[in-house]
Structure 1
Amino acid sequence: MDSIDTRIIQMLRRNSRESFATIGKSVDLSAPAVGKRVKQLEEKGIILGYSLKLNHGKLGVSTKAIIELRIHQSSTIRTAHNQIFNYEEVQRCDRLTGEDRLSILAYFKNNANLITFIERISQYGVPKTSIILEE
């Protein structure tokens, strides 16, 4: 990976749908050359995929929360992670170092849905919830 690859990655991080022609103008390469480099970055496993950024407010989301869940028993952390990660509201579910715990980023239509979610995940551990005020 060289400095051109780094610049290509930076542009794709800002806008993963940026055209290869636009990227090429920025890095002084042709669109096909940029496409070839991107394909190589994908094949090497450097670029793992592309994501979609949504306006959650327009989708009815009014409450965003980070929930740290301290797991009751070490033996249940993998099960808890797998179950919680698959809930519709969950955007991220990361296992943290230290005590067995998860950090969960989740979006809800309202506070009542957040409360229901907290009650569901409490079977796995003790939740500590922070509502996101601004992103």
Structure 2
Amino acid sequence: MDTIDEAIIQCVLRNARATYAEIGKAAGLSPSAAKRRLDRLVATGAIRGFTAIVDPQALAWHTEAFVEVYCAGNPTPADLRKALEDIPEVIDACTVSGAADAMICMLAKDISHLELAIQRVRSTKPVERTESAIVLSRLLSRPRL
């Protein structure tokens, strides 16, 4: 990866719908060269996909929580991912070091909706218990590189 690839990645992070001309301008390339480089970044897996970032306010989901997940036994990360992936309120999930097995970020319409979603997490096979912290205000949010 060189500085041109990094410029391309920064451009599509800012706007996943950027044209090849816009990407090329940001990276100092022609549109056709920008397309070839972008295609190569996708083919090698450096860029895994393009997505829309939906404002939670548009869904009227205003309640966010961080939830520590404690599992029974020793499930693999793949087992835990499979248990959580069908719960739409889980918007981010990571295995972590420390006492908890995983940390998840959840988003819901309100406290009642969040409580039901946490109950669904608790009812999945590997999950033994959870501990939750409700977000009061978001101080900083940056796109991941």
Shorter-chain TM-score: what band?
A: 0.7 to 0.9
> Which residue of structure 2 aligns with residue 63 of structure 1?
63
Unaligned runs of 5+ in 2: none
Q: Matched residues in 1 for 2:111 and 2:100: separation?
A: 27
Q: Deviations over 1:55-79 (max 9, x none)?
A: 1112120201111111132248754
1:28 positional shift: 1.9
CA RMSD after TM alignment? 2.0
CA distance in 2, matches of 1:80, 1:118: 15
CA distance in 1, matches of 2:69, 2:79: 13
Q: Does residue 1:129 correspond to 2:144, yes or no?
A: no
Q: Does 1:34 align with 2:34?
A: yes
Q: Distance in 2 between matches of 1:53 and 1:98?
A: 31
Q: Which residue of 2 aligns with 1:6?
A: 6
SS of the equivalent of 1:74 reads: coil
> Residues 78 and 25 from structure 1, CA distance in 2 versus in 1: closer, same or farther, beyond 3 angstroms?
closer
How far apart, in 2, do the equivalents of 1:45 and 1:81 lie? 21
Distance 1:100 1:66, change over 3 A: closer
Matching residue of 2:93: 93
- 1:81 maps to 81
Partner letter of residue 19 of structure 1? T
Q: Return the TM-score normalized by structure 2.
A: 0.82
Q: How does 1:101-116 map to 2 (within 5 A)?
A: 101-116=101-116
Amino acid in the other structure paired with 1:34: A
TM-score, normalization: structure 1?
Answer: 0.87
Matched residues in 1 for 2:78 and 2:35: separation? 39
Give the Cα–Cα distance (whole angstroms) in 2 for the partners of residues 42 and 24 of structure 1. Answer: 16
Contact 1:64–1:108 (CA under 8 A) maintained in structure 2: yes
Tell me which moved more, 120-129 or 56-65. 120-129
Change (3 A) 1:110 1:100: closer
Helix, strand or coil: the match of 2:64?
strand
- Cα displacement string for residues 3-62 of structure 1 (whole angstroms, at most 9, x for unaligned residues): 111111111112111111112122221111100100011111111111110011121202
Higher helix proportion (structure 1 or 2): 1
Percent of counterpart pairs with the same letter?
27
Distance 1:42 1:119, change over 3 A: same
